[in-house]
Amino acid sequence: MTNWDGLNRRKFPRANYPCLIIIRHNHAGPEAMLTHTENLGIGGVCIILKRNLKLFAPVEVELDLLDAGLHIQCEGKIVWSVQRKNVEDKKPSFYDVGVEFSNISMKDQQRINDIVGRLMKLDEDAAGPQTVEG
């Protein structure tokens, strides 16, 4: 997949919130990848990986929100993947990968929702009052 137009089809708002995440998948044997997030919402997360994962592959997710709470553990699946443009010839290409959460508890969804809501409010406050021309 090279182009992704899913931004406007999201069911839930997302906020830029870098935190740590461990993704485990069983495509070619058990493997865990530690990386960080690009953005976060109650429905899923965008992560950065050094390699592509197969679309719709099931994954186990362990998410550290860096908020002094327990790690969130749930299942998920890969729903999109976009290769980033290479900026240097000697470094590997990275992939932005979308993971949709499943089997996530309501309590964990609420924790994520609280963080996203706080960040969106901060962004609105930082933008200041908006004027509408017409």
Show me where the domains of the chain are located.
Answer: 6-126
Pick the CATH number of 6-126 from 3.20.20.70, 1.10.565.10, 1.10.3720.10, 2.40.10.220: 2.40.10.220
Note the pLDDT of residue 130.
55
pLDDT at 7 > cutoff 80: no
Task: Give this prediction's pTM.
Answer: 0.78
Residues 81-131: pLDDT tens digits? 999 887 666 667 899 999 999 999 999 999 999 999 988 888 777 776 655
CA dist., res. 128 & res. 87, Å (int): 35
Residues 20-79: pLDDT tens digits? 999 998 655 567 888 988 899 999 999 999 888 899 999 999 999 988 889 999 999 999
